[in-house]
């Protein structure tokens, strides 16, 4: 179960990776956590899209977030390659974090506030 504080800390760590350029090994831990959180939230986003009137503004907004997150997982969701440099690792983590921020609105069951 992820708390909102843990989610904030994860997103902060992803943002900081772009500034501090930790080793790919350190960034890989953040990468794995981001992928796991995105995968946990996608079903909730899909349910929200299913509940929205088809082709409504709300439906399109949900699908835009869902499709972008799926694309990010397809491009960046593999196990991190530890042979890449810290800049590349940080860019990948930053991209995943951007999508998780959008998926944050789709809280998962059992998520608690702190």
Q: How far apart are CA 32 and CA 15, in angstroms?
A: 15
Q: How far apart are CA 37 and CA 41, in angstroms?
A: 6
Q: How far apart are CA 104 and CA 99, in angstroms?
A: 9
Contacts of residue 30, defined as CB under 8 A and 6 or more positions apart, other chains included, come to: 10, 13, 14, 17, 93
pTM of the full structure: 0.90
pLDDT at 108: 77
Which tokens hold the place of 112? 């608690």
In degrees, rounded to 5, the angle at the alpha carbon of residue 71 between the alpha carbons of residues 79 and 6 is 60
Per-residue pLDDT of 19-77, as tens digits, reads 999 998 999 999 999 999 999 999 999 999 999 999 999 999 999 999 999 999 999 88
């Amino acid at each position: 179960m992820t708390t909102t504080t843990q989610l904030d800390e994860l997103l902060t760590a992803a943002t900081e990776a772009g500034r501090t350029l930790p080793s790919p090994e350190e960034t890989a831990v953040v990468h794995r956590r981001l992928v796991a959180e995105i995968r946990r939230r996608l079903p909730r986003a899909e349910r929200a899209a299913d509940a929205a009137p088809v082709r409504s503004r709300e439906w399109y907004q949900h699908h835009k977030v869902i499709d972008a997150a799926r694309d990010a997982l397809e491009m960046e969701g593999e196990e991190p390659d530890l042979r890449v440099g810290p800049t590349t690792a940080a860019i990948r983590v930053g991209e995943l974090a951007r999508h998780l921020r959008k998926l944050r609105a789709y809280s998962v069951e059992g998520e608690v506030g702190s």
